[in-house]
Amino acid sequence: MVAASRCAPAPLPKKFVLPFAGRGDRVTTNQAPAVHVLRVRSATARAPWKPAVNTTFNDNPHLARVTAGQQLLFPANPRALCEQMGLNWWTALKLHEDGWLSFNPAATPRLDEVQEAELRFVGSLIIAGCDHSMLPLLLGGLQKPYAYDGSRLYYDWANRRWRLLPDPRAHPEDTFAEWLAALVASGDTGSLAGILELGQDALARVRVGTAREDLGRLV
């Protein structure tokens, strides 16, 4: 009788130190894992990966619009808000006169949520050094009123458009899948092997915890 042959996986290093991108953490493990298949979403797996381009989320800037229009618990006064921001009061009035603000700050004693977002967003462009000749370029692709949450946007100068800032916590699986695609594209077998080890170690700890819970129910 001829014994069936099995293809053994290539031996992994006994100790692997993996630096994570964007962090200073280093993880060391001594446990060699069994073979494990990592599953990712097929749609993401088929998406072409490009350096520094996040393809896992919608970067439409209009998702950062403030549309509630609710009266705030502590509504701001337009003049006080301009002083807080460092925006000249005459400039704020001129923004309304030229059509960049949808409301007249001088005739609005208290701002609602949309008005405050609008004044903060447009006013921040002026404070940053944008003159009236640049406003049509920067605001041309956005919708009026320009009530956008500036902390959620960035301006892509190469493509001359606003983009929604990525939130890595919103799509962790897709973000991880893109990282894997980048490692595959660069041929970084060391990091891929390290990820496999860490995944197997995590699975082992989960299984041990589950077994202890099952044993505790029987006792």
Residue pLDDT, tens place only, 95-106? 999 999 999 999
Task: Find the helix or strand (DSSP H, E) in which 29 lies.
Answer: strand 26-29
Confidence of residue 154 (pLDDT cuts 50, 70, 90): very high
pTM value?
0.56
Query: Residue 95 class from Cβ within 10 Å (0-12 exposed, 13-18 middle, 19+ buried)?
Result: buried
DSSP 3-state of 27: strand
Confidence of residue 47 (pLDDT cuts 50, 70, 90): very low
Percentage of the chain modeled with pLDDT above 90 = 47
| pLDDT given for residue 193 in this prediction | 92
Pairing of strands 161-164, 153-156: antiparallel
- Which stretch of 28-32, 107-111, 142-146, 210-214 has the lowest confidence by average pLDDT? 28-32
